[in-house]
Chains A and B, each alone.
Chain A
Amino acid sequence: MTQNTAQINMTQNISPKTSRNITLSGIALWACLLAVWGAAIAVVPADANQGEVYRIIYLHVPSAIAAFSASFFLALAGALALWTRDEKFLTWQRALAEAGLLMTVLALVTGSIWGKPTWGTWWTWDARLTTTFLLAILLASYLMLHSALPSGRQRIAVCSGLGILIFADVPIIYKSVTWWRTLHQPPTIIRSGGSTMAPEMLAVLIAGIVTMVLMTLWLAWLRADSLELGRELESQTGAALT
Protein backbone atom coordinates (compact mmCIF):
# COMPACT_ATOMS: atom_id res chain seq x y z
CA MET A 1 0.00 0.00 0.00
CA THR A 2 1.48 3.36 -1.01
CA GLN A 3 1.69 6.24 1.43
CA ASN A 4 -0.88 8.23 -0.53
CA THR A 5 -3.32 5.33 -0.48
CA ALA A 6 -2.85 4.93 3.27
CA GLN A 7 -3.58 8.61 3.74
CA ILE A 8 -6.74 8.27 1.67
CA ASN A 9 -7.86 5.27 3.71
CA MET A 10 -7.53 7.32 6.88
CA THR A 11 -9.79 10.05 5.55
CA GLN A 12 -13.03 10.01 7.47
CA ASN A 13 -14.91 11.23 4.40
CA ILE A 14 -14.87 7.77 2.86
CA SER A 15 -15.84 6.13 6.14
CA PRO A 16 -18.60 3.52 5.66
CA LYS A 17 -20.14 4.76 8.92
CA THR A 18 -20.55 8.28 7.51
CA SER A 19 -22.09 6.94 4.32
CA ARG A 20 -24.47 4.74 6.30
CA ASN A 21 -25.49 7.63 8.56
CA ILE A 22 -26.17 9.90 5.60
CA THR A 23 -28.24 7.19 3.90
CA LEU A 24 -30.31 6.26 6.95
CA SER A 25 -30.98 9.83 7.99
CA GLY A 26 -31.93 10.69 4.42
CA ILE A 27 -34.45 7.86 4.25
CA ALA A 28 -35.96 8.91 7.60
CA LEU A 29 -36.21 12.56 6.56
CA TRP A 30 -37.79 11.79 3.21
CA ALA A 31 -40.36 9.59 4.95
CA CYS A 32 -41.16 12.43 7.37
CA LEU A 33 -41.36 14.99 4.58
CA LEU A 34 -43.72 12.92 2.48
CA ALA A 35 -45.85 12.21 5.57
CA VAL A 36 -46.12 15.93 6.34
CA TRP A 37 -46.97 16.75 2.72
CA GLY A 38 -49.56 13.99 2.72
CA ALA A 39 -51.15 15.39 5.87
CA ALA A 40 -51.03 18.91 4.42
CA ILE A 41 -52.77 17.87 1.21
CA ALA A 42 -55.24 15.24 2.42
CA VAL A 43 -55.73 15.37 6.21
CA VAL A 44 -55.90 18.91 7.60
CA PRO A 45 -59.19 20.74 7.03
CA ALA A 46 -59.60 23.58 4.55
CA ASP A 47 -59.19 27.16 5.71
CA ALA A 48 -62.31 29.12 6.58
CA ASN A 49 -61.20 32.11 4.47
CA GLN A 50 -58.91 30.83 1.72
CA GLY A 51 -60.40 27.39 1.25
CA GLU A 52 -58.07 24.73 -0.16
CA VAL A 53 -55.35 26.98 -1.60
CA TYR A 54 -53.98 27.78 1.87
CA ARG A 55 -52.47 24.25 1.92
CA ILE A 56 -49.43 25.72 0.20
CA ILE A 57 -48.54 27.21 3.60
CA TYR A 58 -47.27 23.79 4.72
CA LEU A 59 -44.52 24.01 2.08
CA HIS A 60 -44.04 27.77 1.76
CA VAL A 61 -43.46 28.62 5.45
CA PRO A 62 -41.20 25.62 6.21
CA SER A 63 -39.03 26.35 3.17
CA ALA A 64 -38.69 30.00 4.20
CA ILE A 65 -37.71 29.08 7.76
CA ALA A 66 -35.33 26.43 6.41
CA ALA A 67 -33.70 29.14 4.29
CA PHE A 68 -33.31 31.34 7.37
CA SER A 69 -31.79 28.42 9.29
CA ALA A 70 -29.31 27.72 6.52
CA SER A 71 -28.29 31.39 6.57
CA PHE A 72 -27.79 31.21 10.34
CA PHE A 73 -25.56 28.15 10.10
CA LEU A 74 -23.73 29.75 7.16
CA ALA A 75 -22.92 32.72 9.41
CA LEU A 76 -21.88 30.36 12.21
CA ALA A 77 -19.57 28.45 9.87
CA GLY A 78 -18.19 31.79 8.71
CA ALA A 79 -17.37 32.84 12.25
CA LEU A 80 -15.72 29.47 12.94
CA ALA A 81 -13.73 29.72 9.71
CA LEU A 82 -12.45 33.18 10.62
CA TRP A 83 -11.55 31.94 14.10
CA THR A 84 -9.84 28.67 13.13
CA ARG A 85 -8.74 29.42 9.53
CA ASP A 86 -9.82 25.84 8.78
CA GLU A 87 -10.92 25.16 5.17
CA LYS A 88 -13.38 22.55 6.47
CA PHE A 89 -15.72 25.31 7.66
CA LEU A 90 -15.49 26.95 4.24
CA THR A 91 -16.66 23.67 2.72
CA TRP A 92 -19.64 23.65 5.06
CA GLN A 93 -20.35 27.29 4.15
CA ARG A 94 -20.61 26.39 0.48
CA ALA A 95 -22.86 23.41 1.22
CA LEU A 96 -25.12 25.53 3.45
CA ALA A 97 -25.25 28.33 0.88
CA GLU A 98 -26.39 25.87 -1.80
CA ALA A 99 -29.05 24.35 0.45
CA GLY A 100 -30.12 27.80 1.62
CA LEU A 101 -30.44 29.05 -1.95
CA LEU A 102 -32.54 26.00 -2.83
CA MET A 103 -34.93 26.69 0.05
CA THR A 104 -35.08 30.43 -0.69
CA VAL A 105 -35.97 29.76 -4.32
CA LEU A 106 -38.58 27.25 -3.18
CA ALA A 107 -40.09 29.81 -0.78
CA LEU A 108 -40.24 32.39 -3.59
CA VAL A 109 -41.75 29.93 -6.09
CA THR A 110 -44.39 28.57 -3.71
CA GLY A 111 -45.17 32.09 -2.53
CA SER A 112 -45.67 33.17 -6.11
CA ILE A 113 -47.95 30.21 -6.85
CA TRP A 114 -49.94 31.01 -3.68
CA GLY A 115 -50.08 34.70 -4.52
CA LYS A 116 -51.75 34.31 -7.90
CA PRO A 117 -55.12 32.99 -6.69
CA THR A 118 -55.11 35.02 -3.44
CA TRP A 119 -53.56 38.36 -4.39
CA GLY A 120 -54.28 38.16 -8.12
CA THR A 121 -50.59 38.52 -9.01
CA TRP A 122 -47.56 36.24 -9.32
CA TRP A 123 -45.25 38.92 -7.88
CA THR A 124 -45.22 42.29 -6.16
CA TRP A 125 -42.32 44.34 -4.86
CA ASP A 126 -43.51 44.44 -1.28
CA ALA A 127 -41.04 44.36 1.62
CA ARG A 128 -41.21 40.64 2.47
CA LEU A 129 -40.90 39.44 -1.12
CA THR A 130 -38.17 41.94 -2.02
CA THR A 131 -35.99 41.15 1.01
CA THR A 132 -36.41 37.42 0.40
CA PHE A 133 -35.42 37.89 -3.23
CA LEU A 134 -32.39 39.81 -1.95
CA LEU A 135 -31.48 36.79 0.20
CA ALA A 136 -31.51 34.60 -2.92
CA ILE A 137 -29.27 37.09 -4.74
CA LEU A 138 -26.85 37.20 -1.79
CA LEU A 139 -26.61 33.41 -1.54
CA ALA A 140 -26.04 33.09 -5.29
CA SER A 141 -23.37 35.78 -5.04
CA TYR A 142 -21.69 33.84 -2.24
CA LEU A 143 -21.50 30.73 -4.41
CA MET A 144 -20.04 32.66 -7.31
CA LEU A 145 -17.45 34.26 -5.05
CA HIS A 146 -16.55 30.92 -3.50
CA SER A 147 -15.97 29.43 -6.94
CA ALA A 148 -14.00 32.41 -8.23
CA LEU A 149 -11.42 32.70 -5.45
CA PRO A 150 -8.51 30.26 -5.14
CA SER A 151 -8.07 28.24 -1.94
CA GLY A 152 -6.29 30.06 0.81
CA ARG A 153 -6.55 32.69 3.53
CA GLN A 154 -8.11 35.30 1.23
CA ARG A 155 -10.99 32.99 0.28
CA ILE A 156 -11.56 32.09 3.92
CA ALA A 157 -11.64 35.76 4.96
CA VAL A 158 -13.76 37.11 2.10
CA CYS A 159 -16.27 34.27 1.88
CA SER A 160 -16.67 33.97 5.65
CA GLY A 161 -17.24 37.71 5.92
CA LEU A 162 -19.93 37.57 3.24
CA GLY A 163 -21.48 34.52 4.87
CA ILE A 164 -21.86 36.43 8.14
CA LEU A 165 -23.22 39.50 6.35
CA ILE A 166 -25.88 37.48 4.52
CA PHE A 167 -27.52 36.57 7.83
CA ALA A 168 -28.20 40.27 8.47
CA ASP A 169 -30.97 40.04 5.86
CA VAL A 170 -32.87 37.37 7.81
CA PRO A 171 -34.21 39.52 10.70
CA ILE A 172 -35.09 42.20 8.12
CA ILE A 173 -37.15 39.64 6.19
CA TYR A 174 -38.83 38.47 9.41
CA LYS A 175 -39.71 41.97 10.65
CA SER A 176 -40.58 43.38 7.22
CA VAL A 177 -44.28 42.63 7.65
CA THR A 178 -44.39 44.71 10.88
CA TRP A 179 -41.94 47.45 9.93
CA TRP A 180 -43.52 48.26 6.57
CA ARG A 181 -47.00 48.24 5.05
CA THR A 182 -46.97 45.02 3.05
CA LEU A 183 -49.29 42.80 1.05
CA HIS A 184 -47.82 39.76 2.77
CA GLN A 185 -49.72 38.57 5.81
CA PRO A 186 -48.22 39.11 9.32
CA PRO A 187 -46.60 36.28 11.34
CA THR A 188 -48.70 33.15 11.70
CA ILE A 189 -47.09 31.36 14.61
CA ILE A 190 -45.14 33.82 16.75
CA ARG A 191 -47.48 36.75 17.30
CA SER A 192 -48.88 38.70 20.26
CA GLY A 193 -51.78 36.84 21.79
CA GLY A 194 -50.60 33.54 20.37
CA SER A 195 -51.22 31.84 17.08
CA THR A 196 -54.73 31.95 15.65
CA MET A 197 -54.25 28.72 13.69
CA ALA A 198 -56.36 25.72 14.59
CA PRO A 199 -54.35 23.21 16.69
CA GLU A 200 -54.36 20.49 14.03
CA MET A 201 -53.17 22.95 11.40
CA LEU A 202 -50.48 24.34 13.70
CA ALA A 203 -49.23 20.85 14.55
CA VAL A 204 -48.73 19.92 10.88
CA LEU A 205 -47.10 23.29 10.17
CA ILE A 206 -44.60 22.90 13.00
CA ALA A 207 -43.88 19.32 11.94
CA GLY A 208 -43.26 20.62 8.43
CA ILE A 209 -40.92 23.33 9.69
CA VAL A 210 -38.85 20.91 11.78
CA THR A 211 -38.67 18.39 8.92
CA MET A 212 -37.68 20.96 6.35
CA VAL A 213 -34.97 22.47 8.56
CA LEU A 214 -33.53 19.00 9.16
CA MET A 215 -33.81 18.21 5.45
CA THR A 216 -31.85 21.37 4.64
CA LEU A 217 -29.11 20.38 7.08
CA TRP A 218 -29.10 16.87 5.61
CA LEU A 219 -28.70 18.27 2.08
CA ALA A 220 -25.82 20.42 3.35
CA TRP A 221 -24.25 17.38 5.03
CA LEU A 222 -24.53 15.35 1.83
CA ARG A 223 -23.01 18.14 -0.21
CA ALA A 224 -20.26 18.94 2.34
CA ASP A 225 -19.21 15.29 2.35
CA SER A 226 -18.96 15.38 -1.42
CA LEU A 227 -16.99 18.64 -1.39
CA GLU A 228 -14.58 17.22 1.21
CA LEU A 229 -14.02 14.18 -1.02
CA GLY A 230 -13.23 16.53 -3.87
CA ARG A 231 -10.80 18.50 -1.73
CA GLU A 232 -9.08 15.33 -0.62
CA LEU A 233 -8.72 14.06 -4.17
CA GLU A 234 -7.52 17.44 -5.33
CA SER A 235 -4.80 17.46 -2.68
CA GLN A 236 -3.77 13.92 -3.64
CA THR A 237 -3.82 14.26 -7.40
CA GLY A 238 -3.42 17.98 -7.91
CA ALA A 239 -6.37 17.96 -10.31
CA ALA A 240 -9.66 19.80 -9.77
CA LEU A 241 -12.37 17.14 -9.67
CA THR A 242 -15.42 19.13 -8.45
Chain B
Amino acid sequence: MNAMNNINDLNGMMAVNAWPFILAAYGAGFVLIAGYAAWAWHERRRLQKILAVLRAPSAGKSI
Protein backbone atom coordinates (compact mmCIF):
# COMPACT_ATOMS: atom_id res chain seq x y z
CA MET B 1 0.00 0.00 0.00
CA ASN B 2 1.30 3.43 -0.81
CA ALA B 3 2.64 4.91 2.41
CA MET B 4 1.44 8.35 1.36
CA ASN B 5 -2.16 7.17 1.86
CA ASN B 6 -1.40 6.87 5.54
CA ILE B 7 0.04 10.36 6.02
CA ASN B 8 -3.21 11.72 7.40
CA ASP B 9 -3.34 8.80 9.83
CA LEU B 10 -0.04 9.78 11.41
CA ASN B 11 -1.51 11.48 14.44
CA GLY B 12 0.75 14.17 15.74
CA MET B 13 2.78 14.44 12.53
CA MET B 14 1.30 17.83 11.70
CA ALA B 15 2.14 18.98 15.22
CA VAL B 16 5.87 18.51 14.54
CA ASN B 17 7.67 21.77 13.88
CA ALA B 18 9.01 21.22 10.38
CA TRP B 19 11.34 24.18 10.16
CA PRO B 20 14.30 22.69 12.07
CA PHE B 21 14.22 19.76 9.64
CA ILE B 22 13.91 22.04 6.61
CA LEU B 23 16.79 24.26 7.74
CA ALA B 24 18.91 21.23 8.62
CA ALA B 25 18.38 19.77 5.14
CA TYR B 26 19.19 22.97 3.26
CA GLY B 27 22.05 23.70 5.64
CA ALA B 28 23.51 20.26 4.93
CA GLY B 29 23.08 20.90 1.20
CA PHE B 30 24.86 24.22 1.36
CA VAL B 31 27.72 22.88 3.49
CA LEU B 32 28.29 19.85 1.28
CA ILE B 33 28.12 21.62 -2.08
CA ALA B 34 29.90 24.82 -1.04
CA GLY B 35 32.47 22.90 0.97
CA TYR B 36 33.38 20.63 -1.94
CA ALA B 37 33.42 23.54 -4.38
CA ALA B 38 35.68 25.54 -2.06
CA TRP B 39 38.08 22.64 -1.62
CA ALA B 40 38.21 21.94 -5.38
CA TRP B 41 38.72 25.65 -6.10
CA HIS B 42 41.52 25.88 -3.56
CA GLU B 43 43.21 22.80 -5.00
CA ARG B 44 43.01 24.24 -8.51
CA ARG B 45 44.47 27.56 -7.38
CA ARG B 46 47.32 25.76 -5.62
CA LEU B 47 48.25 23.90 -8.80
CA GLN B 48 47.92 27.06 -10.92
CA LYS B 49 50.37 28.85 -8.61
CA ILE B 50 52.85 25.99 -8.92
CA LEU B 51 52.56 26.19 -12.71
CA ALA B 52 53.00 29.95 -12.57
CA VAL B 53 56.28 29.46 -10.69
CA LEU B 54 57.47 26.98 -13.31
CA ARG B 55 56.55 29.46 -16.03
CA ALA B 56 58.50 32.28 -14.36
CA PRO B 57 61.37 33.71 -16.48
CA SER B 58 63.91 32.49 -13.97
CA ALA B 59 62.65 28.93 -14.08
CA GLY B 60 65.14 26.40 -15.38
CA LYS B 61 68.08 28.75 -15.33
CA SER B 62 71.18 28.12 -13.32
CA ILE B 63 74.60 29.65 -12.96
> Contact between B51 and A229 (Cβ–Cβ < 8 Å)?
yes
Write out, one digit per residue, whether chain A residues 88-102 have a CB within 8 A of any chain B CB (1) or not (0): 000000000011001
Which single residue of chain B is at the shortest CB-CB distance from A120? Answer: B10
Cβ of A183 within 8 Å of any chain B Cβ, yes or no, is yes
User: What CA separation (Å) do A181 and B26 show in the bound complex?
Assistant: 29
> Contact between B47 and A241 (Cβ–Cβ < 8 Å)?
yes
Q: For A241, list chain B residues within 8 Å (CB).
A: 47, 50
> Contact between A185 and B3 (Cβ–Cβ < 8 Å)?
yes
User: What CA separation (Å) do A113 and B20 show in the bound complex?
Assistant: 10
Main secondary structure of the interface of B (DSSP, over half): helix
> Contact between B16 and A14 (Cβ–Cβ < 8 Å)?
no
Which single residue of chain A is at the shortest CB-CB distance from B22? Answer: A55
> Contact between B33 and A60 (Cβ–Cβ < 8 Å)?
no
User: What CA separation (Å) do A37 and B29 show in the bound complex?
Assistant: 10
> Contact between B21 and A56 (Cβ–Cβ < 8 Å)?
yes
Cβ of A86 within 8 Å of any chain B Cβ, yes or no, is no
Q: For A192, list chain B residues within 8 Å (CB).
A: none
> Contact between A219 and B47 (Cβ–Cβ < 8 Å)?
no
**Partner-binding segment picked from A2-10, A74-82, A145-153, A165-173:** A2-10
Residue among A26, A60, A117, A236 making CB contact with B18, cutoff 8 Å = A117
> Contact between A106 and B28 (Cβ–Cβ < 8 Å)?
yes
Residues of A in contact (CB 8 Å), total: 56
> Contact between B55 and A8 (Cβ–Cβ < 8 Å)?
yes
Residue among B16, B26, B51 making CB contact with A41, cutoff 8 Å = B26
Chain B min CB distance to A23 (Å):
9
Q: For A52, list chain B residues within 8 Å (CB).
A: 18-19, 22
> Contact between B51 and A56 (Cβ–Cβ < 8 Å)?
no
Cβ of A105 within 8 Å of any chain B Cβ, yes or no, is yes
Binding site for A on B (CB under 8 A): 1-4, 7-8, 10, 13-14, 16, 18-19, 21-22, 24-26, 28-29, 32-33, 36-37, 40-41, 43-44, 47-48, 50-51, 54-55, 57, 59-60
**16 interchain pairs (CB within 8 A)?**
A2-B59, A5-B55, A26-B37, A37-B29, A55-B22, A59-B25, A59-B29, A99-B36, A110-B25, A113-B24, A114-B25, A215-B33, A219-B37, A226-B44, A236-B54, A242-B43
* Closest 5 A/B residue pairs (Cβ): A53-B18, A2-B60, A229-B47, A226-B44, A52-B18
